[in-house]
């Protein structure tokens, strides 16, 4: 398993745990009479789960499974590491800024939310660019077609 995959999957596991803990907190709010502020964590809960866990686990597995992992590691894995950094910084920024910017659109926290959106969007672009050239027919066929045996 390549190092980038290990990072994606380990971080994904941490997000799964974080998402489920936020879920517990949301479920406890009503019975324990916890502050209504916690309701602002609803979108954070979904995105920790779907971006932090599901998407990141897929990214890690795709890098491991798709053809060209070796050459990708040597040549273009930089784009994979950039994705890891962009996705996680963007998501963590969202976790922080989304609850704090509620009701304060255009504030400092609101602008951090814009930055979070930009970072996550760039992560999607970077990973698509990273994987796109690796979705291809088997190399043996290509070599044969080129007369390389």
| Separation between Cα atoms, residue 29 and residue 111, nearest integer Å | 28
Query: HSE on the CB side for 126, CA within 13 Å?
Result: 19
Contact predicate 66/8, CB 8 Å: no
Shortest Cβ 113–other proteins spacing (Å): 3
Give the CA-trace dihedral at 120, 123, 124, 126, to 10 degrees: 160
Of 103 and 148, CB closest to other proteins:
103
Query: What x/- string results for residues 54 through 93 when contact with other proteins is judged by CB under 8 A?
Result: x---x---x--xxx--------------------------
Of 5 and 116, CB closest to other proteins:
116
Contact predicate 85/130, CB 8 Å: no
**According to CB under 8 A, which residues from 95 to 124 bind other proteins?**
97-98, 101, 105-106, 109-114, 116-118, 120-121, 123-124
| Separation between Cα atoms, residue 66 and residue 61, nearest integer Å | 8
Which stretches of the chain bind other proteins, using CB under 8 A?
50, 54, 58, 62, 65-67, 94, 97-98, 101, 105-106, 109-114, 116-118, 120-121, 123-125, 127-128, 131-132, 135-138
């Amino acid at each position: 398993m390549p190092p980038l995959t290990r990072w994606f999957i380990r971080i994904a596991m941490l997000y799964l745990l974080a998402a489920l803990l936020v879920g517990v907190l949301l479920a406890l709010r009503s019975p324990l009479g916890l502050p209504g502020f916690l309701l602002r964590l609803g979108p954070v809960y979904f995105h920790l789960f779907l971006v932090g866990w599901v998407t990141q686990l897929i990214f890690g597995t795709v890098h491991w499974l798709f053809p060209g992992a070796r050459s990708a590691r040597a040549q273009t894995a930089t784009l994979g590491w950039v994705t890891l950094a962009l996705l996680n910084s963007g998501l963590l920024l969202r976790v922080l800024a989304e609850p704090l910017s509620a009701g304060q659109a255009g504030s400092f926290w609101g602008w951090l939310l814009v930055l979070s959106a930009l970072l996550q969007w760039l992560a999607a672009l970077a990973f698509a660019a990273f994987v796109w050239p690796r979705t291809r027919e088997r190399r043996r066929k290509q070599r044969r077609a080129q007369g390389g045996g």
